């Protein structure tokens, strides 16, 4: 009996030590799991934060793009409206200028344009370009001009041009020219028309 007791005590001791070691391992594993969980939680929160920040940045970028596109679209529509209004005014101005060709003051205006053109190109051998309807009146003002300026040789071009009215004065060699057509004058005031209409649209 006496030999059995020490054996049982030894067994109990071994079992107790094994139990303690097992419990310690469980505690260690539990603590490690907690640490891993906390670390994972921190990583997850960081990744979540990155996702949220990226989403916000993308959202702001898309928002800016939408606003920018809207502004561009509105600007394009405004420019189209402006150009349409300018063209309408331009066409109405053309109609008025066509009517001007039938008024009495038109001949005097052509004569002044001839004088301006002759002075501008500084030559005595001159060709006058005009539209077909103005040929007779141009021939008349040329004759009137030559009567006062006998040293000039002026002829009407054999070709006719699609001018609203007015004339183009050029040297016979084609090196110098003066554009006194109504088309040219109208084009010069087109930027002013555009500016005035743009101001009206902003009001």
* Angstrom distance (rounded) from CA 106 to CA 35: 100
Give the number of other Cβ atoms within 10 Å of residue 114's Cβ. 22
* Angstrom distance (rounded) from CA 58 to CA 10: 70
Q: Over the stretch 159-200, which tens digit does the pLDDT of each residue have?
A: 999 888 899 999 999 899 999 998 888 888 778 777 777 776
Question: Could you say which architecture CATH assigns to the domain 101-194?
Answer: 2-Layer Sandwich (3.30)
With cut-offs at 50, 70 and 90, classify the pLDDT of residue 2.
Answer: very low
Tell me phi and psi for residue 10, to 5 degrees.
-65, -45
Q: Over the stretch 7-46, which tens digit does the pLDDT of each residue have?
A: 556 555 555 555 565 556 566 655 665 566 566 556 655 7
With cut-offs at 50, 70 and 90, classify the pLDDT of residue 87.
Answer: confident
Task: Give the mean model confidence (pLDDT) for residues 70-76.
Answer: 71
User: Is 3 in a helix, a strand, or coil?
Assistant: coil
Angle CA(185)–CA(187)–CA(192) in degrees, nearest 5?
Answer: 100
Q: String of b and e for 60-86 (b: at least 16 CB within 10 Å)?
A: eeeeeeeeeeeeeeeeeeeeeebeebb
């Amino acid at each position: 009996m006496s030999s059995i007791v020490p054996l049982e005590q030894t067994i109990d001791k071994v079992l107790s030590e094994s139990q303690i070691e097992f419990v310690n391992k469980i505690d260690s594993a539990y603590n490690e799991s907690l640490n891993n969980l906390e670390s994972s939680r921190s990583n997850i929160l960081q990744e979540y934060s990155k996702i949220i920040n990226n989403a916000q940045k993308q959202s702001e970028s898309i928002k800016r793009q939408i606003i920018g596109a809207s502004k561009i679209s509105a600007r394009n529509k405004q420019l189209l409206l402006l150009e349409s209004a300018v063209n309408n005014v331009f066409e109405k101005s053309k109609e008025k200028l066509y009517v001007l060709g039938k008024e009495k003051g038109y001949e005097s205006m052509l004569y002044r344009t001839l004088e301006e053109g002759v002075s501008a190109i500084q030559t005595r051998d001159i060709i006058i370009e005009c539209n077909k309807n103005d040929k007779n009146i141009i021939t008349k003002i040329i004759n009137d001009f030559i009567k006062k300026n006998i040293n000039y040789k002026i002829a009407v071009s054999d070709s006719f041009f699609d001018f609203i009215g007015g004339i183009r004065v050029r040297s016979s060699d084609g090196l110098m020219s003066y554009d006194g057509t109504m088309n040219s004058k109208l084009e010069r005031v087109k930027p002013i028309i555009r500016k005035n209409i743009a101001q009206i649209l902003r009001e």
